[in-house]
Amino acid sequence: MRALITGASGFVGAHLVRHLLECGDDVVATYFPQPPDAYVLGMCGGSPPLATQNNSAFTADAPRVGSLSWEYLDTSELESCAKLISSAAPEVIYHLAGMSFVPEAERDFLGALKSNVVGLDNILRIAHQIQRKIRVVFVSSADVYGQVSRDLLPARETTPTHPVNAYSVSKLMAELVADRWTRLGNLEVVVMRPFNHIGPGQNVRFMAASFARQLALIWKGRDEPRIMVGNLSARKDFTDVRDVVRAYRRAAEKGHGLYVISSVKSLAVQEILDGLINISGIPVKVECDPARMRSIEPTELYGSYAKAESELGWKPEFTLRQTLADIYADALARCD
Amino acid sequence: MRALITGASGFVGAHLVRHLLECGDDVVATYFPQPPDAYVLGMCGGSPPLATQNNSAFTADAPRVGSLSWEYLDTSELESCAKLISSAAPEVIYHLAGMSFVPEAERDFLGALKSNVVGLDNILRIAHQIQRKIRVVFVSSADVYGQVSRDLLPARETTPTHPVNAYSVSKLMAELVADRWTRLGNLEVVVMRPFNHIGPGQNVRFMAASFARQLALIWKGRDEPRIMVGNLSARKDFTDVRDVVRAYRRAAEKGHGLYVISSVKSLAVQEILDGLINISGIPVKVECDPARMRSIEPTELYGSYAKAESELGWKPEFTLRQTLADIYADALARCD
């Protein structure tokens, strides 16, 4: 498939580029504002940024069948979207571009709307006008659920949504935009609601990557054997990013409507930390950092991937141990 | 009640100011970007801009009990909202500010989000932080329903919403923002979903006012006896703006949650036109203007005000004939 990926230089984007290339797709990948760094370029099939044991996804000889080109794209500019979609002529657009860091969206709500809502609106406005069949996979977020009462878990595609922060509100707004353009016709939008994803390459603003980096720095003797954490009792549903991007491609092939992408189990943040400490083999002291606590932290949330399994034939495959081992290996390599 | 009205210099705002003053409320009314014109100032209890027969709402001796002051407010600026709410110290905020013209929202979606979503978010963010009880009446729109299948009419508070244009999408997004802040606590937001409202003072970009102005110009001999119209077969639910603003004050007093404000009947645009032509007594030729057609015009939509009647003791009181007579008298006075 000829694919356009917006926001491809981020964590999920880079994994998606790699997966599509392995599947033989021809990919136009867009970045904004900064070009992809050497790490991302390496992940996407160039020189591998790291080659560790038990981390086969990062070996240099990963098959690369499809072609790849990078383009700058500010999705908030309608004309730029029109030009790029016209020249790339994709059969499918994976729309990942957007603001993904929750505190940033809270500080700059208009900026979040510009990135997360207007960007999608522009892509769909153009896709709607083009006189040929085009499919769009829009990556929303399970954060749109907000707090779900225990009796409604696991969250499904039909579970009521009550987002409680600026980021998750903006994502649900984008789903309204997707619904609007789908109703107007000429295109099909498949909406993905992934739960938390983890894996090698994630920004250290996110919890598992932060733990892994702190452990790696301690291992290298560059930090005290002390690890700073947020709320360890919060329970979330974590899926390996490499499983997640497989779901996106399946959705592009044959998805309709909305899909929850999840592991159908909740894991305490404590378990992620314990797993990483165990893999690293480092004795550390764990300390709570109030600055890492979110004001409203849903106590427990997990989702059912039953619809994705039934319609897309997808389920998560990575074990937690493998995921954590890869995250730690990646953190070690990245703090060289 | 001490009230703050945002967007008070618009059509609905001016009628709301007048109504609150008549009820004895002290009002801080905000405008953006232009100060209220003489017409609006007149409506709000100064010199009446017109004194026509059968138009008692506009006589000079309308009781004015409460106090009124005008302030500039750009609701998209958080600091300005904070300062004004602090100095005005309202018990209730009526949030009317926003972009209300559908084609403008389509041309400038980011601008619509800034006006219609970020503005409300700023007001509620501040109201949430203030350490005293405050109520907010947010004026959304029945446009959020989009196309409703006939078996689901009349639309109620629980009817599914599928907005199909940029304006109505932005209004539903603002409702998400209202839901968010209500869940975070410290304030109560009452959301109003009015259907189409008509009445004296409306901008001629809107249909009834446009018909009335065209008729008034013909009556004055300043135009050919020919009237340009859009889709006359579209059926909509029209309520007199003076009934609508009464509902808002009732909602401020004792409302909870969401209210549909409507007449529970649909009227063909043709009937509005026929009523105005009949009142004017002018024989005119009616011509269709493609530029006045919206790309997607819901064929029929009307709502039930049962919840407003039961909880607020509200129902519409103006007859269509009285409303149209007042609109025509207003149009005659305004084209002098």
CB distance A115 to A169 below 8 Å: no
pLDDT of residue A54: 38
Quote the tokens at residue A100: 């993904």
Q: Which of A183, A189, A295, A296 to mutate to test the interface with B (most CBs of B within 10 A)?
A: A183
CB distance B178 to B191 below 8 Å: yes
The Cα angle at residue A241 between residues A10 and A62, in degrees rounded to 5 = 85
- Across the range A119-133, mean pLDDT stands at 93
pLDDT tens, B236-275? 999 999 999 999 999 999 999 999 999 999 999 999 999 9
Percent of chain B with pLDDT over 90: 77
Give all domains of chain A, ordered by start, each with its CATH number.
2-202+238-265+301-318 (3.40.50.720)
Residue A216 and residue A333: Cα distance in Å, rounded? 9
Does B291 lie at the interface with A, CB-CB under 8 angstroms? no
Q: Across the interface, do A180 and B173 touch by the CB < 8 Å criterion?
A: no
Sequence-separated (6 or more) residues with CB below 8 Å from residue B61: none
Which residue among B121, B162, B296 sits closest to A109, beta carbon to beta carbon?
B121
DSSP for A241-264 reads: HHHHHHHHHHHHHH--SEEEE--S
Residue keyed to tokens 């905000």: B30
pLDDT tens, A180-202? 999 998 899 999 999 999 999 99
DSSP for A152-199 reads: GPSB-TTS--B--SHHHHHHHHHHHHHHHHHHH-SSEEEEEEE-EEE-
pLDDT of residue B293: 67
Sequence-separated (6 or more) residues with CB below 8 Å from residue B13: B5, B7, B29, B96
Sequence-separated (6 or more) residues with CB below 8 Å from residue B83: none
Which residue among B110, B165, B179 sits closest to A162, beta carbon to beta carbon?
B179
Q: Which of B122, B141, B183, B296 to mutate to test the interface with A (most CBs of A within 10 A)?
A: B183
In chain B, which stretches have pLDDT less than 70? 45-64, 293-298
| More reliable by pLDDT, A65 or A67 | A67
pLDDT tens, A76-108? 999 999 999 999 999 999 999 999 889 999 999
**Residues of chain A contacting B296 with CB distance shorter than 8 Å:** 184
pLDDT tens, A138-154? 999 999 999 899 999 99
